[in-house]
Amino acid sequence: MAPAMETGRGPDRATLKDVAALAGVHPGTASRAINVDTRDLVNEETARRVLAAADELGYRPNPIARGLKTSRSYTVGVLIPDLTNPLFPRIVRGIQDKLEESGYIPLIANTDNDPARERADIEAMRARQVDGLITATAHRHDDLAIDGAGGELPVVLVNRRHEQGTRPSVVADDRLGVRLAIEHLVALGHRRIAHLAGPQDLSTGYLRLQGYREALADAGIEYDDELVLAADAFVEEEGQRLCNELLDRGLEVTAIFAGNDLMALGCYDAFVARGIVCPDQISVVGFNDMPFAAWFDPPLTTVHLPQYEIGERAAELLLERLRDPAAEPTQMLLEPTLAVRGSTAPPAG
Amino acid sequence: MAPAMETGRGPDRATLKDVAALAGVHPGTASRAINVDTRDLVNEETARRVLAAADELGYRPNPIARGLKTSRSYTVGVLIPDLTNPLFPRIVRGIQDKLEESGYIPLIANTDNDPARERADIEAMRARQVDGLITATAHRHDDLAIDGAGGELPVVLVNRRHEQGTRPSVVADDRLGVRLAIEHLVALGHRRIAHLAGPQDLSTGYLRLQGYREALADAGIEYDDELVLAADAFVEEEGQRLCNELLDRGLEVTAIFAGNDLMALGCYDAFVARGIVCPDQISVVGFNDMPFAAWFDPPLTTVHLPQYEIGERAAELLLERLRDPAAEPTQMLLEPTLAVRGSTAPPAG
DNA sequence: TCGCGGCGTGCAAACGATTGCGGTGACCTC
DNA sequence: GAGGTCACCGCAATCGTTTGCACGCCGCGA
């Protein structure tokens, strides 16, 4: 009978026991020597020997085993609405890179803004013992999963602030971003500025509309309800639909501030269909500065968000939280800038 | 002294032992009852009791503990060069969605096409006991990590075929894609078609150049070495650099076939700087059909790849492999199409 | 009546690490 | 020289599951 059942896979990985044997110490000691924050419990010389042995064997601790004991997985869940939305890859990249520095790795799930999916994703993540959660799902009224199912998990919010302020978060300053956009248009001479707002149940959609009203007021322009339409989703189709609706009203409008870049693109579509030339006849400003916005026709003037940095900061906040769960929940506000390109110009006439 | 050291987190999750106790059986038995493919080892009635108990306690197996023993994690590693490259989000999305159907979850890492990072990523993934790997890193000579460090891990290749054919893979038919592009240009009347090729050590860069030569030959056009330049990377800057270099040669060129969309965008930049109008004076075709290519200035004619489907298929292949590691390695070839837009027109004159 | 073949279960050893506790020396002090 | 301190390290339990093995029991055939 053959030995059979080679359970392990691959060229048997060195285990702590192997290292210990090679170094001539007990596995427990080896463990202490290898783990930096217990290293000073062992003799310096011994530690050196263990480290050398580990190095020689190419030892890599097994996070699974470690996790079983410590109930840590060195894994964090990242919830985003949709990876193919151009806003997210950079944020995610920022998260990944920062986590990686500390030996963590993200588990990424797309919720499609569907609460059911979101719940399922969170469940799958908890099952995998994620140590924390970063969520970029932007519902404004989040009685749903997150804080609840997140349970005792450290959570950091991205792209949306926790209204009670009890969770750490990192968001771009939407109000400021809007202000920059509006001020730019006003400086160009625009007074009739429409706003195609995002969904009002998403915090970004909501805040930008608020910002729009404020900025208008500060510029001494009266708010006109007729000039504001709210979308069902942050997508091109909605931008196009709303833009058409707006133009159909036959109002005098010289500029449009779109809820995000995708919606701005929808405006472009509407213009093309109607033979309207942007920016000659009408100006458009977007939001997010999605990749390649500079190559659009015309190049899109838009509010630039430090997306990568947003991701990095979020990861940092979470790591901090993991180290000290009792830390004060930091609310981080990142500053947007305005990328002025070809879709804005002084009003015609 | 207080009890101290509440090691577990949250409302102590029910463990197998709890379930067993409630059902009045041994943990081992409970394990068998709960795992579907050992369920028939235990009495039907007992199994029912165990399941009921598990249900009542809201028991969820701990994948970490399970993984420690079985060295399976229901997790697969996904290696891509860079998530912010617009080619990848859709592929990844396809992978995620398909994996999710089977209870798997992906671990995503960006290698930046850096072998060292790649190795580290693979190491991190193996450490986390991923059950398999999907890799979209496109090196042509892959004596590196993948198959090696992949060791005994099932691997499926995306976006690149294994030259020895010993690994399953799913790729778009690059040759066909190129053919479509060239035929389109030829049909428009172009004969002097340059190619700004991608890096020749990446399989996509290499294959597209091959396809270019073939398609040219089939169209009865002589291959001219002067019209071909190879990039160091698939990025705008390289496209721009090469395009400038090409134009500086002062050759008669009426169309450019770019290695991918990003490089095509680089051409746009070069044109703008030189006051060249596309497509009036020169036509450009890209490759990949990246998101929003239709909104570029001019809208980019490009080879469309079924990106989401590529991801799905890759996931399927891997799942298949996980079920039956001995299965024949399927090599899947997906058909591209040509998206004709505004960057191509008959040659001037 | 005895033996035997299953079935169903319990037992306990893994998996690879972490960690409280206790023990052994070396060194110091009185 | 006895006793105490302290640094260092080994021991073994533990985390939650899986799984080979053995055992008890029941029924059946001889």
Three-state secondary structure readout of chain B: CCCCCCCCCCCCCCCHHHHHHHHCCCHHHHHHHHCHHHHHHCCHHHHHHHHHHHHHHCCCCCHHHHHHHHCCCCEEEEEECCCCCCCHHHHHHHHHHHHHHCCCEEEEEECCCCHHHHHHHHHHHHHCCCCEEEECCCECCCCCHHHHHHCCCCEEEECCCCCCCCCCEEEECHHHHHHHHHHHHHHHCCCCEEEEECCCCEHHHHHHHHHHHHHHHHCCCCCCHHHEEECCCCCHHHHHHHHHHHHHCCCCCCEEEECCHHHHHHHHHHHHHHCCCCCCCCEEEEEECCCCHHHECCCCEEEECCHHHHHHHHHHHHHHHHHCCCCCCCEEEECCEEECCCCCCCCCC
CB contact under 8 A, B83 and A89: yes
Residue from A295, A309, A322 whose CB has the most chain B CBs within 10 Å, to mutate: A295
Share of chain A above pLDDT 70, in %: 91
Tell me which chain B residues have a C-beta less than 8 angstroms from the C-beta of A129.
Answer: 62-64
Contacts of B292 in chain A (CB under 8 A): 86, 265, 290, 292, 296
How far apart are the CA of A349 and the nearest CA of chain B, in angstroms? 26
Share of chain A above pLDDT 90, in %: 57
Taking the CA atoms of A81, A83, A84 and A85 in sequence, report the sign of the dihedral they define: positive
Span CA (B32) to C1' (D25), Å: 21
Residues on chain A touching B64 (C-beta within 8 angstroms):
64, 67-68, 73, 128-129
The answer to whether A60 contacts B127, with C-beta atoms less than 8 Å apart, is yes
**Does B62 contact A107 at a Cβ distance shorter than 8 Å?**
no
- In chain B, whose CA is at the least distance from the CA of A295? B296
Mean pLDDT confidence for B305-309:
96
Residue A138 has pLDDT above 70, yes or no: no
Chain B residues whose CB is inside 8 A of the A128 CB are 63-64, 75, 105
Closest CA of chain B from A40, distance in Å = 22
CB contact under 8 A, B8 and A71: yes
Nearest to A78 by CA among A94, A64, A93, A92: A92
- Look at residue B158 and tell me whether its pLDDT is greater than 70: yes
CB contact under 8 A, A64 and B67: yes
Task: Write down the residue that tokens 């229901």 correspond to.
Answer: B74
CA distance A68 to A80: 28
Instruction: Give the residue, A166 or B218, on which the prediction is more confident.
Output: B218
B17 touches strand D (CB under 7 A): yes
The reply to whether residue A295 touches residue B268, judged by beta carbons under 8 angstroms, is yes
pLDDT band at residue A142 using 50, 70 and 90 as cut-offs: low
pLDDT at B151: 59
Rounded to a whole number, what is the distance in Å from the CA of A245 to chain B's nearest CA? Answer: 21
pLDDT tier at B1 (50, 70, 90 boundaries)? Answer: very low
| Closest nucleotide to the alpha carbon of B14, via C1' | D16
Tens digit of each residue's pLDDT (9 = 90 or more) over A52-107: 988 888 888 888 888 888 878 888 999 999 999 999 999 999 999 999 888 788 99
Write b or e for each residue in A196-216: b if 16 or more Cβ atoms lie within 10 A of its Cβ, otherwise e: bbbbeebbbbbbbbebbeebb
CB–CB contact A292 B92 (8 Å): no
pLDDT at A253 over 90: yes
Distance CA B312, CA B98 (A): 6
pLDDT of residue B60: 82
Determine, for residues B11 and A152 on separate chains, whether the beta-carbon distance falls below 8 Å: yes
Averaged pLDDT for residues A281-305: 97
Cα(A319)–Cα(A154) distance, integer angstroms: 10
pLDDT of B139 reads 66
Average pLDDT of A340-347? 97
CA of B10: which chain A residue's CA is closest? A152
Q: Which residues of B fall within a CB distance of 8 Å from A61? A: 127
Task: Check if the beta carbon of residue A294 is closer than 8 Å to that of residue A103.
Answer: no
Q: State the pLDDT at residue A164.
A: 66
Among A53-62, A235-244, B50-59, top mean pLDDT goes to: A235-244
The mean pLDDT of B269-285, rounded to a whole number, is: 97
Q: Which nucleotides of strand D come closer than 7 angstroms to any CB of the protein?
A: 7-20
Count CB pairs under 8 A between chains A and B: 136
Closest residue to B7, CB basis, from A71, A75, A299? A71
* Contact residues on chain A for B295, CB-CB shorter than 8 A: 265, 268, 296-297
Q: What is the mean pLDDT of residues A111-139?
A: 81
- Share above pLDDT 90 across residues of chain B, in percent, rounded to a whole number: 57
The pLDDT of residue B299 is above 70: yes
Instruction: State the smallest CA–CA distance between residue A296 and chain B in angstroms.
Output: 4
On chain B, the residues whose CB falls within 8 A of the CB of A290 are: 292
Residue A40: pLDDT above 80? yes
- Check residue B59 and give its pLDDT: 86
Confidence tier at A10 by pLDDT (50, 70, 90): very low
Residue A327's pLDDT is: 80
B59 class by beta-carbon count within 10 Å (0-12 exposed, 13-18 middle, 19+ buried): buried
| Higher pLDDT, residue A306 or B152 | A306
Average pLDDT over residues B328-333: 89
Mean pLDDT of the A267-290 span: 97
Q: Is the CB of A38 under 7 A from strand D?
A: no
Is B35 within 7 A of strand D by CB distance? yes
More reliable by pLDDT, A214 or B55: A214
Checking if the pLDDT of A5 tops 70, the result is no
Is 70 exceeded by the pLDDT of residue A139? no
- Residue A23, burial from CB neighbour count under 10 angstroms (0-12, 13-18, 19+): buried
Q: Say whether B295 and A299 touch across the interface (CB within 8 A).
A: no
- Kindly determine whether the C-beta of residue B69 is less than 7 Å away from any atom of nucleic acid strand D: yes
The nearest CA of chain A is from the CA of B88 a distance in Å of 9
> Given a cut of 70, is residue B76 above it in pLDDT?
yes
Strand C: which residues have Cβ below 7 Å from it?
A: A 7-8, 13, 15-17, 27-28, 31-32, 34-35, 38, 59-62, 65-66, 68-70; B 5, 24-29, 32, 41-46, 65, 68-69
> What tens digit of pLDDT does each residue of B212-231 get?
999 999 999 999 999 999 99
Query: Is the CB of B8 within 7 Å of strand D?
Result: yes
Q: How far is the CA of A93 from the C1' of D18 (A)?
A: 37
The pLDDT score that the predictor gives to residue B68 is 83
Question: For the whole model, what pTM was predicted?
Answer: 0.85
Nucleotides of C under 7 A from a protein CB: 7-20
